[in-house]
Structure 1
């Protein structure tokens, strides 16, 4: 058990170092990166497509990376916004890492880009521990997932700079208790802002874009509390040995970036 924790801590520490370098490089290029985390089915692709569309309507230079285990479905959907989009297929890996983002950004990201959205793999466990060099970390969940999810996934919600509630147009139909949810978020991440959104009726979309732009135009926040620090303070959200096989010297030979439609 101790050996497993030591190895994982070292892997995360290496990732954090690469993420810090990437964050500095992106800042020098005046690019703000937004890391979007959620479980599958939260509606983050639909929301991101709308955000990208609104950003382009405002004349903003935006782009998106989207990660999936096996398909390019999300990239095709996001490309409908007219923004440059690139897909990464992880080949079964449950999260993105800073080295993958670096490899995808280098040589692809248009020079004029000022906002880069990174849609992480749908998962509230593994991605939460990996800093991707982002300027802003956003954790999303839908009203259909249950008000206690922040308590069940404290790393994902506790490290967020912003929490976004999605599918609010059906909150009444599913009996979602907003006050219970808000209290759960406050418990794991005191003071963090919660935005209510709906991709169906557009609620909160412009506000979300405004929040992102405020960060992009100002000083970048500190990197989220992740990796070794979070492991020491809170432990991991899943079995400590669950993913040790992902981090050998050839860990990501099966993951690959594949082109997606761009406009």
Structure 2
């Protein structure tokens, strides 16, 4: 399939809630911050072709939380693809958002597949129920392996937990702790672009032949200093989200949109 110019907006870790913040860290005005992000997306010309959310849409995952998420994001005219994070709840997320999110697959995991403008996006459910760490078990990796056989040359993999190291020992212990090696073996046949969340600070890396990116969080962010072994602390920094501009020749430019 030939490619055309395409924009993908990458959001993550919205941590929206209606009554109770599970983390205790999401601010009470988070819904208004998300409204600002939606307004910024609507102001773009051209607008993104797709919005991708790499987990922790909710901060506790009640049905009401997902109803709020749907209400806040409904003004966006483009399709929205999302994977769960460790603060999401699969059943409630599927129940409220299942017919609304694009590409969501059937089954016990909340995987997704989207083909758009010559690009393939595969969303992986990396959640371990009740734990902050992530995993890709044999069943999930088998699904990925099968889907990659039908993927376009430009393929994005979306998951909450980063499979690559961040350089901080605190966060690396809370990232993908199971299935990392086989995941790497499965994807190494050709370069992929991996979009993640969970770390609450923007980060870009080259992981072998693959590009890896972590989006920040509009709810709260950490101060991760390269090379530091200190436990990350919350840091009052401006929020930005990445726009991945896919070119017809298969290259990708990444622009950052700052939200005041």
What range describes the TM-score normalised by the shorter chain of this pair? 0.3 to 0.5
- TM-score w.r.t. structure 1 length? 0.38
Q: Which has the higher strand share?
A: 2
Q: Which structure would you say has the larger RCO, counting Cα contacts within 8 Å and 6 or more residues apart?
A: 1
